[in-house]
Chain A
């Protein structure tokens, strides 16, 4: 299987020897083999190989995908994410994304049992986020930031973290206000709800994050 790996020095072609025992290979299989054979200093991130840690996101044929869970085929191109600053080969700098929120969100402590467990449903759904940052791809708001940071404008991920405070049954009115104020600062009111990028793990970022935050912002 011939694939292309986009490295810092330029595109490199790689002839991936697909194991005969299993042909349902993923991008990470190819990267591991490339590092073991022709590209021993290939820089790429991965962690759990199990779709959980969220660090192995790369662009496959131009779209952000988890390398460890995305099947590849002849002719595919593996490249670094384009929406974060490149460090080396397939590795991008991720830390400015969280710095946008650092110290600016209240921690909502869990203080006791709930009358109705369904009050946590919204939190449970948002907690599926694995921080793969796929939702930064083609995000017009994030694109307004200087590439190297600091990031003044928000993205679906940062709004998701804010929304988690707003939907928490334990959050006080003041905590929700603080979260909402941050959402406004990061540009929630100007966010185009018809152009919300897709989530890497299937959270509906439009209806669970952007729209309810905008409604909250406009009603208060």
Chain B
């Protein structure tokens, strides 16, 4: 049971890393799109792609939180005590980002859209960074489960910072791949080309950074490094590298539909590898059976989530099918064009 619950957390993390990560990445591209005129098309596409799905994508985070505190309450309490500062900052980022994005859809002037867009984009970059530092800090063994205390060293260590940067890059990479595909479906060849170039560039950077990160782990988080370079952990790492290279190749050859899946697989394999490498501990030094809630709780949780998934999975598939079929998409318009003389309805 405990193993299943931990599995649920990792599934949730993977989904959040892929779907939520891509939404963060969209913010990254929004931020770097340039001035109103030049960035307008990119921002318009982002607005169109993200609007129907970002709330559902965000719920994966909630899912991870609630399963964690139900199944592994002590670990949850210890992590949240230790990483008070980055988590608080991440929470602020969540408010700013969600609100600014939702409101930008209703902006009436380019000035309003500019301010809201800047808030959305900046917080989209900051947020995954802080969440990444928490994961990195956990991996580096910074949580003292027996007597946790808030610690700034925990999230400013080299491993933590590296993880934060990687989180930002990964999101940007996923997002570029997804948006290239969206641009093709929206029949916008200019944007298709633009995001293809971005995907290739950031893909190479992310790949290089990941290799660098392995060296950081080797010196500062040796147990995790050992786990990732032997046995099942190694297999996951190799799978991730292979999926990453495949993605680059697919993008190079303009096959974005398939690239979407391989890019997601590359990220999923990293999360999976992390799980395999740390098994059976929940936190470094906290074994699964010590960390888990009593069986009655775990059983109740698994039953609840399983029943929930019976409803959730079809609903999610329905949503994504409608989105991919373009049924829910609003007409595409470069963001700056929406504010020309007719005060366009952004929705």
On whether the two chains bind one another, the answer is no
Give the interface of B toward A (CB within 8 A). Answer: none
Give the interface of A toward B (CB within 8 A). Answer: none
